[in-house]
């Protein structure tokens, strides 16, 4: 058995190794920084791995962090880093940097110069931006090539003195593989999260208010958007030019245009989302080979506007109380059921004589008159005319007269259960 002195020495060495951080990094220290002192000088004097503990108060911004440090303020976020209204309030140029419990304000407002409250440069691998207030900046947090970064539990509010299109995004992600944006509250910017030319990202649990788009996805593949909430934005989730995504369990309420937009989105899984109130619950345009299942689309002017898309599997959704359940301008027949299971339609007029939960007759949301009105809106003047009444009667008696369009051959008699719907019901 080893001697007691030897065991004590081993324990001391093990503790020192745990405190020292990554190989080659000196023993980490906690350094107190008083309000009003030069935070940039404290950064320059610190060693990689140190934690700078900021007292409550104000600190001059436009900081450059070029080594692995933690900057941490009081839990109430009363340590304020104030930018110069030009450039970046905090510019991170090293891996393994953490910002926690800070309030960061007053970046420049130039979109072309990529001004931001927090700017993560390409070297800012594994950065952690956690539990901060990031207020009145251009872009709140800019991930510019920073891999495996985490932006989590922050409150991000844009500059309300600018018009929406002049504001920066809450969070901008460019070519930042493996990065995660989690549980943030984002408001008053242009887009909540704008992701471009990235991959393997996770955007989950965020809440978005008073924005153009809650999530704006461009050329971002193999990623996930899940459990987010969009309230009162122009578009909830604009998923564009991307492949192999999982878009699941999100909520969009009171979207001025669309709750969910799929534009050139392919090979993706769209499930468990709840879209309530808006001009269109979902707009599917030029998007192919996707699964849209078990979503709820309710109280919109149009439940789904579907055009230019092929090979999509659509079943298990609930279309409830939409003024127009489906708008499909085309002549092809599209079957919206799979393996004997279709969708629930609140305006379904069908019996279920065998009690299997499936309507005994197919559901067809659109007829000849719908097609005419979409192509010639002025024809609405004839909706109550005897001629239109005769056409509608003829279609009901002779289904062969129906045009091509959406057909649900196995409509559900009851709306499926949705865990996301229960979350929607508890929203304030």
pLDDT at position 124:
98
User: Which stretches in the chain have pLDDT values below 50?
Assistant: 1-21, 24, 368-369, 383, 388, 400-401
Report if residue 6 sits inside a domain. Answer: no
Contacts of 5 (CB under 8 A, 6+ apart): none
User: Rounded distance, CA 255 to CA 261, Å?
Assistant: 11
Contacts of 231 (CB under 8 A, 6+ apart): 207, 208, 209, 253, 254, 427
User: Rounded distance, CA 386 to CA 407, Å?
Assistant: 27
Contacts of 166 (CB under 8 A, 6+ apart): 109, 111, 190
Q: pTM of the entire structure? A: 0.87
Q: 159-213: per-residue pLDDT in tens?
A: 999 999 999 999 999 999 999 999 999 999 999 999 999 999 999 999 999 999 9
User: Rounded distance, CA 226 to CA 96, Å?
Assistant: 26
Burial of 353 (0-12, 13-18, 19+ CB in 10 A): exposed
Report if residue 371 sits inside a domain. Answer: no
Report if residue 317 sits inside a domain. Answer: yes
pLDDT at position 27:
78
Report if residue 199 sits inside a domain. Answer: yes
Domain that holds residue 224: 25-330
**Dihedral pair phi/psi, residue 144, rounded to 5°:** -105, 80
User: Rounded distance, CA 38 to CA 63, Å?
Assistant: 10
What the block records as the tokens of 297 is 């689309």
Q: Is the dihedral of CA 24, 127, 240, 428 positive or negative?
A: positive
CATH number at residue 131: 2.160.20.10
What the block records as the tokens of 222 is 């193999």
Q: 12-45: per-residue pLDDT in tens?
A: 333 333 334 455 455 789 999 999 999 999 999 9
Residue 96: how many CB atoms within 10 A of its CB?
19
Give the chain as a 3 state SS string: CCCHHHHHHHHHHHHHHHHHCCCCCCCCCEEEECCCCCHHHHHHHCCCCCEEEECCEEEECCEEECCCCEEECCCCCCEEEECCCCCCCEEECCCCCEEECEEEECCCCCCCCCCEEEEECCCCCCCEEECCEEEEECEEEEEECCCCCEEECCEEEECCCCCHHHCCCCEEEECCCCCEEECCEEECCCEEEEEEEEECCEEECCEEECCCEEEEEEEEECCEEECCEEECCCEEEEEEEEECCEEECCEEEEEEEEEEEEEEEECCEEECCEEEEEEEEEEEECCCCCEEECCEEEEEEEEEEEECCCCCEEECCEEECCCEEEEECCCCCEECCECCECCEECCCCCCCCCCCCECCCCECCCCHHHHHHHHCHHHHHHCCCHHHHHHHHHHHHCHHHCCCCEEECCCECCCCCCHHHHHHHCCC
Report if residue 159 sits inside a domain. Answer: yes
Q: Distances in Å between the alpha carbon of 150 and those of 37, 115, 129, 181, 312?
A: 29, 20, 6, 6, 33
Contact between residue 358 and residue 411 where contact means Cβ atoms under 8 Å apart: yes
User: Rounded distance, CA 229 to CA 354, Å?
Assistant: 40
The number of angstroms, rounded, from the C-alpha of 361 to the middle of its chain's C-alpha atoms is 38
Report if residue 145 sits inside a domain. Answer: yes
Report if residue 308 sits inside a domain. Answer: yes
Count of domains observed in the chain: 1
User: Rounded distance, CA 155 to CA 167, Å?
Assistant: 16
Q: Distances in Å between the alpha carbon of 50 and those of 31, 226, 378?
A: 7, 35, 71
Contact between residue 201 and residue 193 where contact means Cβ atoms under 8 Å apart: no
What the block records as the tokens of 79 is 């340590």
Report if residue 15 sits inside a domain. Answer: no
User: Rounded distance, CA 34 to CA 57, Å?
Assistant: 8
User: Rounded distance, CA 24 to CA 236, Å?
Assistant: 46
Contact between residue 120 and residue 180 where contact means Cβ atoms under 8 Å apart: no
Contact between residue 366 and residue 395 where contact means Cβ atoms under 8 Å apart: no
């Amino acid at each position: 058995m080893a001697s007691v002195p030897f065991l004590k020495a081993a324990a001391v060495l093990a503790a020192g190794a745990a405190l020292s951080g990554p190989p080659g990094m000196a023993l980490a220290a906690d350094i107190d920084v008083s309000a009003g002192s030069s935070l940039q000088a404290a950064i320059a004097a610190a060693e990689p791995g140190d934690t700078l503990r900021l007292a409550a108060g104000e600190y001059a911004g436009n900081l450059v962090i070029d080594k692995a440090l933690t900057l941490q303020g009081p839990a109430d976020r009363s340590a304020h880093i104030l930018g110069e209204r030009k450039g970046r309030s905090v510019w991170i140029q090293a891996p393994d940097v953490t910002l926690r419990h800070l309030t960061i304000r007053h970046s420049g407002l130039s979109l072309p110069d990529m001004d931001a409250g927090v700017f993560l440069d390409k070297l800012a691998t594994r950065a952690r931006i956690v539990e901060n207030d990031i207020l009145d900046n251009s872009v709140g947090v800019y991930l510019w090539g920073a891999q495996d970064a985490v932006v989590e539990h922050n409150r991000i509010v844009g500059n309300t003195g600018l018009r929406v299109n002049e504001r920066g995004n809450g969070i901008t992600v460019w070519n930042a593989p493996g990065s995660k944006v989690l549980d943030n509250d984002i408001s008053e910017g242009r887009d909540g999260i704008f992701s471009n030319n990235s991959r393997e990202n996770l955007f989950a649990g965020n809440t978005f208010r008073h924005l153009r788009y809650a999530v704006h996805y461009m050329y971002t593949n193999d990623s996930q958007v899940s459990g987010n909430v969009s309230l009162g934005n122009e578009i909830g989730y604009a998923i564009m030019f991307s492949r192999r995504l999982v878009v699941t369990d999100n909520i969009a309420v009171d979207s001025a245009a669309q709750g969910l937009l799929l534009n050139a989105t392919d090979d993706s899984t769209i499930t468990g989302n709840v879209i309530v109130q808006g001009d269109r619950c979902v707009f599917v345009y030029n998007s192919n080979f996707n699964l849209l299942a078990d979503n709820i689309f309710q109280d919109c002017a149009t439940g789904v506007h579907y055009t230019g898309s092929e090979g999509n599997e659509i079943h298990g959704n609930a279309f409830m109380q939409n003024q127009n359940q489906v708008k499909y301008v085309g002549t092809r027949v599209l079957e919206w059921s799979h393996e004997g299971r279709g969708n629930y339609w609140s305006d379904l007029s069908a019996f279920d004589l065998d009690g299997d939960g499936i309507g005994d007759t197919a559901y067809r949301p659109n007829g000849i008159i719908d097609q005419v009105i979409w192509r010639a809106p002025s024809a609405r003047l004839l909706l109550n005319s005897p001629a239109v009444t005769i056409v509608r009667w003829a279609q009901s008696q002779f289904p062969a007269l129906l045009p091509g369009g959406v057909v649900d051959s196995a409509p559900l008699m009851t709306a499926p259960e949705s865990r996301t719907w229960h979350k929607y019901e508890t929203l304030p």
